[in-house]
A and B are shown apart, each in its own frame.
Chain A
Amino acid sequence: EDQVTQSPEALRLQEGESSSLNCSYTVSGLRGLFWYRQDPGKGPEFLFTLYSAGEEKEKERLKATLTKKESFLHITAPKPEDSATYLCAVVYISNFGNEKLTFGTGTRLTIIP
């Protein structure tokens, strides 16, 4: 079964304490992976697109990486304003031969001042 799993479900960090969020997937025919940030009660905000293993993207304190089985969102020296839920979404070819996009359930990140 095609699956996208994010871990941990929730993560609390002290301000300045670097860490990583994980998005693992069991799909065939990966076509791309997206990272989004979502604040409570708002729509997701696009962060990164990764298309192939080995690719990396950076934006401010965030860095996304991709392997054949998973993606990591590294956050360096986070600030309280980085607190949000981070979603990943995977584009792949389904068993029926069509392109599908599946979202993970997200990691809720809290940065404590």
Chain B
Amino acid sequence: DGGITQSPKYLFRKEGQNVTLSCEQNLNHDAMYWYRQDPGQGLRLIYYSQIVNDFQKGDIAEGYSVSREKKESFPLTVTSAQKNPTAFYLCASSRRRGRRDEQFFGPGTRLTVL
């Protein structure tokens, strides 16, 4: 089955720790995205990548970092510099570069800071 997987489903972080969220896709999609979802707000773009070894900041990149060493993988690191990291994190991919292609989402990771 083709799709997007995210792990872990739930993640707990102590203040001051960095944590890495995994995102893998086997759809052979070029572009991948990370979003953050908070109650009462629309999805907000953190980072995106349209090709291997290249990525761009989205609207709320501060306190986050990413890498795109393989086409299938786009991990997100939430650093200690992110002041309010508790949220639901969603990874997505689209077949081609550019925003006009529909994006397909993974199941999400819920991060809680203790």
Contact = CB atoms under 8 A, between A and B. Distances in A.
Interface in B63-114: 90, 92, 98-100, 102-108, 110
Contacts, number: 51
Nearest to B10: A41
By secondary structure, the B interface counts as loop
Interface in B6-46: 6, 40-45
By secondary structure, the A interface counts as strand
A91 interface: yes
A30 B106 CA distance: 26
Interface in A41-76: 41-46, 49, 51
A1 B40 CA distance: 19
Interface of A: 4, 31-32, 34, 36, 41-46, 49, 51, 87, 89, 91, 99-106
In the A-B complex, list the 9 residue pairs whose CB atoms are closest, starting with the nearest. Answer: A43-B105, A103-B42, A103-B43, A101-B99, A91-B99, A99-B99, A44-B105, A43-B108, A32-B100
Interface of B: 4, 6, 40-45, 90, 92, 98-100, 102-108, 110
15 contacts: A4-B42, A31-B100, A34-B102, A34-B103, A41-B110, A42-B108, A44-B43, A46-B102, A49-B102, A87-B42, A89-B43, A91-B99, A99-B98, A103-B43, A105-B40
